[in-house]
């Protein structure tokens, strides 16, 4: 039985064509369960959102590249993510969940197949590890040019960022640190996030507009000032992603075309669009030619 709603089938068309090699830097693939069963100890049970459905979404929106964020519902079984990387033939990269005892040989294999980061959740319903595991993994992935991806609750963000600054690898903060839009750009969590502007190895995903919004329904306009502030502060280290198929959404299911159009409206400059959608993902995830 599913405890997540499926993504919208009908979405708003993009307002304009995206630049060549545009990258959706945050989405998930679920199942299909008959081929890739969900983990027994999973934090949620989604409806299937397979590779083919994701490819169709990207075709409709105009994305040529993407970054698969391996989801907690599949646990440490990377089979669906690796299958998507193989089928994508260089079009995709991935962020993995790794067990602490993952061997160096396995990390090397994952690097060859397109994995570029390890994700750690500091969110109550998704928590998969603690700081000690993260800190132990960082030097092991450093030789491969990988980074640490962090999904954290806003209340934990200021303290986490101080620790993340000490790592020997870059780090990426998912969904604008889930800083509450209700607190505005002056909120403690968001101010801590803005403080990363001068850290050369800190990156932020301006994804999850629905997750920071307090509205509970589209178009999540209260979160737009956070996006604008980040684009002004650190456009050279921002990434944008759909977060499709939007697991654990409370309220309206996001419209991926509407989310993209909001980004394009808030970022009308073509050079900055290209930086966030093309150049930044290329630097961090190292796609091929």
Q: Give the Cα separation of 31 and 13 in Å (integer).
A: 26
Q: Annotated catalytic residue: which of 174, 210, 243, 256?
A: 243
- What's the 3-state SS for 95-123? EECCCCCCCHHHHHHHHHHCEEEEEEEEC
Q: Tell me the three state secondary structure of residue 124.
A: coil
Sheet hosting strand 147-152, strand order edge to edge: 23-27, 65-69, 92-96, 115-122, 147-152, 171-173, 202-205, 238-239
- Which of these, 267, 238, 206, 260, lies nearest to 58 by C-alpha position? 260
Known catalytic membership, residue 243: yes
β-bridge mates for residue 173, sequence order? 150, 204
Q: Which residues make beta-bridge pairs with 113?
A: none
CB atoms within 10 A of CB 106: 14
Buried b (16+ CB within 10 A) or exposed e, 213-230: beeeebbbebbbebbebb
Instruction: Tell me the catalytic residues.
Output: 243
């Amino acid at each position: 039985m599913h405890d997540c709603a499926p993504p919208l089938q009908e979405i708003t068309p993009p307002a304009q064509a995206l630049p060549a090699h545009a990258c959706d830097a945050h989405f998930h693939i679920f199942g299909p369960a008959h081929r890739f069963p969900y983990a027994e100890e999973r934090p949620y049970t989604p409806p299937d959102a397979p590779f083919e459905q994701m490819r169709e979404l990207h075709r409709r929106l105009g994305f040529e590249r993407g970054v698969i964020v391996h989801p907690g519902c599949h646990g440490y079984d990377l089979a669906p993510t690796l299958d998507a990387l193989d089928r994508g033939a260089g079009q995709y990269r991935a962020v993995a969940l790794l067990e602490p005892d993952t061997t160096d040989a396995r990390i090397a294999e994952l690097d060859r197949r397109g994995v570029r980061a390890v994700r750690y959740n500091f969110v109550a319903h998704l928590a998969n590890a603690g700081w000690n595991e993260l800190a132990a993994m960082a030097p092991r992935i450093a030789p491969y040019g990988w980074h640490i991806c962090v999904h954290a609750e806003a209340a934990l963000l200021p303290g986490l960022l101080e620790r993340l600054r000490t790592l020997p690898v870059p780090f990426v903060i998912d969904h604008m640190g889930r800083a509450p839009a209700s607190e505005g750009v002056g909120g403690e969590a968001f101010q801590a996030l803005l403080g990363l502007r001068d850290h050369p190895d800190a990156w932020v995903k301006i994804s999850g507009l629905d997750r920071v919004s307090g509205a509970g329904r589209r178009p999540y306009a209260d979160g737009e000032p956070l996006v604008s502030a980040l684009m002004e502060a650190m456009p050279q280290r921002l990434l944008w992603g759909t977060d499709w198929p939007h697991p654990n959404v409370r309220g309206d299911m996001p419209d991926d075309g509407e989310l993209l159009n909001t980004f394009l409206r808030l970022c009308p400059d073509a050079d900055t669009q290209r930086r966030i959608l093309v150049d930044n993902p290329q630097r961090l995830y190292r796609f091929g030619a």
